[in-house]
């Protein structure tokens, strides 16, 4: 069976020992009081909720799914109570502003808690997750009146939020959208059109649902430049802020889908629904991106979180299931066979997953810590540097972590052999649930295009060069430590490959318009692997410092996993570099008719 135990020890290792976050917070305005003790208490309590309340509903939610009758969705049994436990416990408002009822804690802490929530029950996590995205867009772009009116109830979880972009004929290319917003004399708009794939578009947990909708105002500029953002409540609040008249926005159908069945994915019909502009007219994408960037980091972390559940389940199974004998002689001589964890190929699957999951956890938390720097550092230059680092790494975290999370889920399903394919064991659900993280919030191919087409060229490549300098400085900082040579040498080689690929790509893009797209996915993977190597160097250095001769415990396992990553996973970069340098010619050569 799938099992889940909150990885509090490893989260503490990353937060306290590797990143020393409370020390970093002491320099950030408004976060000075966030201590190690507070962090530990939060992690412990959130971990218990995830293990005892959310995870027991994970498989049940998949089996029951959501149902629709008369435009009303019924969620799986237990989900409404679990949502209540999440919101009433304040778990969904950790990083929200105190002025709207939030706790004003760092994003780093929020992300750590969300990893556990997603691992325990990804479908349920989507409802508050989307609300948080809507909260971010409104905080950044809505008028003071809208913020004061709507945000307190969204922060408390009394009202939820959605993000309505996709239409049947457009997902990536939103400039094609047809949903219209007709201006009214009172300053509001009437929204008409159909959105598809809307997560949480309808549910039975909250008194109201606040849709953030992209639509075009007639007569505006064509394409993406004519898209504006609107707030469209399910119920129009009355003067006291209570849900009043029903706004004509209805769930027309539930999508029948591969996974995350406990989350409603809705076709939403806007039938002249009343809405209000958020931000400037025709600048909707700017506001939506402020939400999407945050959501993209979150989705990368989601992919990882499912890999974590899969790993824990597979590790347990591999210690219990007996098949065959160890190649170096029986370890269970009294029994009929040895546990499958003795087999090198089973080890390969477990170690690969472990190295990606623990390294990936450090990577997303490190990027989240840059979010906090960008928002709270007193020095504007440091804030700007944090912003750029987040912008550069957002597509990497989204696509790389969701890719390795999904690959890991599949590898761990494989550890179960045929039982991994059978529902009751729970592994096929994890694979089905993980798969969406590679697709939504912008497909991973589109993330790769964002990286090579928009992020690498930022400031003429200076943002990427700054990142490379930081990685080089990290390698240099361990130059005098003999025990670190085995980690630093492969890290330096990886860095050299990433730099070579970057230079090659920037140069080639000037003469071959297909070059960036042709190598984008490989480049993103190369950058993800190198970013992970950076984290594994830091993890190894920390473990060496802390292990104090203990060659069997937590730190020794960290060191072994770091070694495995450097020796067995990082060399993928050589093949990736060769693919990148092969360019676009053979990729683009066939005529479309030949496919
Ligand atoms: C379960 C689920 C939940 C979702 N939740 C929401 C939600 O809450 N709100 C919402 O608005 N949307 C939501 N979506 C929509 C999701 O974000 C889109 O499906 C996704 O962004 C891809 O868009 P598309 O499906 O139209 O694919 P398309 O845009 O048609 O893409 C098809 C293929 O072409 C590739 N492609 C397209 N353009 C390019 C390009 N320029 N360069 C390279 N490759 C390209 C893509 O990578 C993909 O492989 C959800 C989808 C699902 C399945």
pLDDT on residue 501: 98
Of all protein residues, the one whose alpha carbon is nearest to atom 12 of ligand 1 is 166
Residues 115 and 180 in one domain: no
> Looking at the domain assignment, is residue 151 inside a domain?
no
Distance CA 165, CA 180 (A): 12
Model confidence pLDDT, tens digit, residues 169-226: 999 999 999 999 999 999 999 999 999 999 999 999 999 999 999 999 999 999 999 9
> Looking at the domain assignment, is residue 483 inside a domain?
yes
Residue that has been written with the tokens 């780093």 in this structure: 108
Of all protein residues, the one whose alpha carbon is nearest to atom 52 of ligand 1 is 197
Q: What is the DSSP string of 126-145?
A: HHHHHHHHHHHHHHHHS-HH
Q: What is the count of structural domains for the chain?
A: 3
Residues 137 and 167 in one domain: no
For the Cβ of 357 lying below 6 angstroms from any atom of ligand 1, the answer is: no
Of all protein residues, the one whose alpha carbon is nearest to atom 7 of ligand 1 is 198
Among 250, 284, 318, where does a domain finish? 284
Residues 83 and 179 in one domain: no
Residues 123 and 194 in one domain: no
Domain assignment of residue 185, given as a range: 160-284
> Looking at the domain assignment, is residue 65 inside a domain?
yes
pLDDT on residue 294: 85
Bridge partner residues of 274 (DSSP): 190
Annotation marks residue 29 as catalytic: no
- Residues in the chain where the model's pLDDT stays below 50: none
Residues 196 and 134 in one domain: no
Q: Is 483 helix (H, G, I), strand (E, B) or coil?
A: helix
> Looking at the domain assignment, is residue 431 inside a domain?
no
Ligand 1 atom nearest 165 alpha carbon:
11
- For residue 361, give both structure tokens: 């956890």
For the Cβ of 171 lying below 6 angstroms from any atom of ligand 1, the answer is: yes
SS (HEC) of 287-352: HHHHHHHHHHHHHHHHHHHHHHHHHHHHHHHHHHCECCCCCCCCCCCCCCCCEHHHCHHHHHHHHH
> Looking at the domain assignment, is residue 396 inside a domain?
no
Among 141, 171, 200, where does a domain finish? 141
Do residues 429 and 4 touch, judged by C-beta distance below 8 A?
A: no
Do residues 205 and 153 touch, judged by C-beta distance below 8 A?
A: no
Residue 399 CA, ligand 1 centroid: distance in Å:
13
> Looking at the domain assignment, is residue 197 inside a domain?
yes
Model confidence pLDDT, tens digit, residues 178-191: 999 999 999 999 99
Q: What is the CATH number of the domain that holds 19?
A: 1.10.540.10
Residues 49 and 134 in one domain: yes
> Looking at the domain assignment, is residue 358 inside a domain?
no
Residues 242 and 131 in one domain: no
Q: What is the CATH number of the domain that holds 194?
A: 2.40.110.20
Of all protein residues, the one whose alpha carbon is nearest to atom 14 of ligand 1 is 197
Distance CA 186, CA 188 (A): 6
Residue that has been written with the tokens 């070579």 in this structure: 500
Residue 439 CA, ligand 1 centroid: distance in Å:
6
Among 284, 317, 333, where does a domain finish? 284
Smallest Cα–Cα separation from 355: which of 319, 296, 402, 405? 405
Q: Kindly report the length of the chain.
A: 595
**Rg of the chain on CA atoms, in Å:** 24
Q: What is the DSSP letter of 162?
A: E
Residue 127 CA, ligand 1 centroid: distance in Å:
19
| End-to-end Cα, the chain, rounded Å | 42
Do residues 297 and 401 touch, judged by C-beta distance below 8 A?
A: no
Ligand 1 atom nearest 443 alpha carbon:
47
Do residues 105 and 193 touch, judged by C-beta distance below 8 A?
A: no
> Looking at the domain assignment, is residue 525 inside a domain?
yes
Ligand 1 atom nearest 171 alpha carbon:
26
Name 232's Cβ contacts closer than 8 Å, sequence gap at least 6. Answer: 164, 191, 210, 211, 212, 213, 247, 249, 270, 273, 274, 275
pLDDT on residue 241: 86
pLDDT on residue 549: 74
Give, in order, the Cα–Cα distances in Å from 100 to each of 103, 266, 348, 488.
9, 29, 48, 46
Ligand 1 atom nearest 172 alpha carbon:
29
Residues 128 and 211 in one domain: no
Residues 467 and 582 in one domain: yes
Distance CA 559, CA 28 (A): 31
Q: Identify the active-site residue in 441, 500, 585, 593.
A: 441
Q: Is 328 exposed, middle or buried (0-12, 13-18, 19+ CB in 10 A)?
A: exposed
Q: Is 272 helix (H, G, I), strand (E, B) or coil?
A: strand
Residues 137 and 175 in one domain: no
For the Cβ of 440 lying below 6 angstroms from any atom of ligand 1, the answer is: yes
pLDDT on residue 548: 79
For the Cβ of 165 lying below 6 angstroms from any atom of ligand 1, the answer is: yes
Residues 105 and 180 in one domain: no
Residues 122 and 207 in one domain: no
């Amino acid at each position: 069976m799938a099992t889940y135990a909150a990885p509090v020890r490893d989260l503490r290792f990353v937060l306290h020992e590797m990143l020393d976050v409370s020390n970093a917070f002491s320099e950030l305005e408004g976060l000075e009081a966030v201590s190690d003790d507070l962090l530990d208490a939060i992690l412990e309590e959130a971990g218990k909720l995830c293990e005892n309340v959310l995870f027991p509903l994970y498989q049940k939610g998949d089996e029951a799914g959501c149902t629709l009758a008369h435009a009303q969705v019924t969620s799986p049994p237990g989900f409404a109570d679990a949502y209540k436990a999440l919101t009433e416990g304040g778990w969904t408002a950790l990083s929200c502003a105190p002025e709207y009822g939030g706790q004003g804690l760092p994003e780093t802490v929020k992300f750590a808690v969300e990893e556990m929530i997603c691992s325990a029950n990804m479908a349920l996590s989507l409802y508050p997750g989307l609300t948080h995205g809507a909260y971010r867009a409104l905080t950044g772009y809505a008028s003071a009146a809208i913020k004061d009116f709507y945000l307190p109830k969204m922060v408390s979880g009394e009202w939820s939020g959605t993000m309505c972009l996709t239409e049947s004929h457009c997902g990536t290319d939103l400039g094609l959208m047809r949903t219209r917003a007709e201006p009214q004399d009172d300053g509001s708009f009437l929204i008409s059109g159909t959105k598809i794939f809307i997560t949480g578009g309808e549910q039975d947990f909250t008194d109201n649902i606040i849709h953030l909708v992209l639509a075009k105002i007639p007569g505006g500029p064509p394409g993406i430049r004519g898209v504006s953002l609107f707030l469209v409540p399910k119920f129009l609040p009355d003067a006291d802020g209570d849900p009043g008249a029903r706004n004509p926005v209805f769930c027309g159908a539930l999508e029948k889908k591969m996974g995350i069945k406990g989350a409603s994915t809705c076709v939403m019909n806007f039938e002249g629904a009343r809405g209000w502009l958020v931000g400037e007219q025709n600048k909707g994408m700017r506001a939506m991106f402020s939400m999407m960037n945050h959501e993209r980091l979150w989705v990368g972390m989601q992919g990882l979180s499912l890999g974590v559940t899969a790993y824990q389940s597979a590790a347990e199974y591999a210690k219990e299931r007996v098949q065959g004998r160890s190649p170096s002689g029986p370890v269970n001589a009294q029994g009929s066979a040895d546990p499958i964890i003795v087999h090198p190929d089973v080890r390969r699957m477990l170690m690969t997953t472990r190295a990606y999951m623990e390294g990936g956890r450090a990577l997303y938390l490190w990027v989240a810590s840059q979010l906090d720097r960008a928002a709270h550092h007193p020095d504007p230059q440091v804030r700007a540097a944090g912003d750029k680092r987040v912008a550069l790494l957002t597509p990497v975290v989204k696509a790389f972590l969701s890719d390795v999370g999904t690959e890991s889920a599949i590898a761990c399903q494989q550890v179960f052999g045929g039982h991994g394919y059978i529902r009751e064991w729970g592994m096929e659900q994890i694979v089905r649930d993980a798969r969406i993280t590679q697709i939504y919030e912008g497909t991973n191919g589109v993330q790769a295009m964002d990286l090579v087409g928009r992020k690498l060229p930022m400031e003429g490549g200076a943002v990427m060069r700054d990142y490379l300098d930081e990685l080089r400085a990290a390698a240099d900082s361990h130059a005098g430590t003999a025990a670190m040579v085995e980690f630093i040498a492969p890290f330096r080689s990886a860095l050299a490959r990433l730099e070579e690929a970057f230079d090659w790509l920037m140069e080639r893009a000037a003469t071959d318009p297909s070059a960036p797209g042709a190598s984008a996915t490989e480049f993103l993977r190369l950058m993800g692997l190198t970013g992970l190597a950076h984290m594994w160097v830091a993890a190894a250095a920390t473990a060496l410092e802390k292990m104090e001769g203990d060659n069997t415990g937590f730190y020794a396992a960290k060191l072994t996993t770091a070694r495995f990553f450097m020796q067995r996973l990082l060399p993928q970069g050589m093949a990736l570099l060769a693919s990148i340098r092969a360019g676009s010619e053979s990729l683009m050569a066939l005529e479309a008719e030949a496919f």
